[in-house]
Amino acid sequence: MNSLCTDEQKKHLLKLTTLVSDKRLSGQEAWSAFSKPEKSKKFKGKRPETERFTFAEAEVRTYKDLRQIVQNKLFERCGGSCSYCRRAVGHYGWAWHIEHVLPKSKYPAKTFLLSNLTVGCVHCNMWKGSRVDKQLRTQKLPIINPVELNFQYSKHLNFVQIGTESLSFAKYLPRTAEGRETYELLSFKELERAHAINGVDGSAAALHERITRGMQIGLGTEEGRQLAALLQRLKTSIYNLP
Ligand SMILES: [Zn+2]
């Protein structure tokens, strides 16, 4: 992110990266200090006691500004679509997160590297977190890596979308092992099903929309993630109804 910073902002960012390299903050904690900045934040991590960290007003402002700059940059770089499922995100599409390709929990030094960040929709972000990031042992992802050098989505997956006024159809066709793993681990089958149902049934689409909104609340906390996983199962069971 340094390349996007003024000299003053670089210093403020350095404070966070130093707290991470000194192991005083974990990757997740430093990211939380950056993405939801406050003058004073308490972190527990693996410490026996919570520890309080203070940030100057200028630092809080830098983190807010920088987050917006990073968000705009990624949105532009990804053409307004999720890097994994390629569905539109943002104002006219689904909600999205700044997604750490190599998880900040395992690779804290990569927390603030622009080259490790991309756009991930709520669906992909959640499944990647639980089915990919937690199991990851090396830097080689089992699924597609949208930030690797010379990455080409169509080499791994074809995303076909056909729609008329009343019918809509979406299908993912994996072409490589990473593409297949992406399809399986990120539950693309569910996206295909959701797409078909939403196209023909307005009330199912509205329900789907409400559940998805519910899933976005509090994804930053463990309880929030558990709630999202529960709602996800509910959503899947709705799509599986005959
Ligand atoms: Zn996605």
Q: Cα(197) to centroid of ligand 1, in Å?
A: 18
Kindly give the distance from the C-alpha atom of residue 113 to the centroid of ligand 1, in angstroms, as a whole number.
Answer: 21
Residue 103, phi-psi category: left (phi > 0), alpha (psi -120 to 50), beta (remainder): beta
The chain-wide mean pLDDT, for the chain, equals: 88
Task: Tell me which residues have their CB within 5 A of the ion that is ligand 1.
Answer: 82, 84-85, 121, 124
Q: What is the model's pLDDT at position 106?
A: 94
Ligand 1 mean position to 125 CA, how many Å?
A: 7
Dist. CA 193–CA 239, nearest whole Å: 7
Reported as a single tens digit per residue, the pLDDT across 75-119 is: 999 999 999 999 988 766 677 889 999 999 999 999 999 999 999
Picking from 84, 78, 77, the residue whose alpha carbon sits closest to that of residue 191 is 84
**What is residue 126's three-state secondary structure?**
helix
Q: Would you state the pLDDT for residue 215?
A: 72
Residue type for 4, please?
L
Residue ranges in the chain whose pLDDT is less than 70 = 91-93, 165-166, 197-205, 216-220, 238-242
CA of 97 to the centre of ligand 1 (A): 10
Q: And the tokens for 11? A: 């210093």
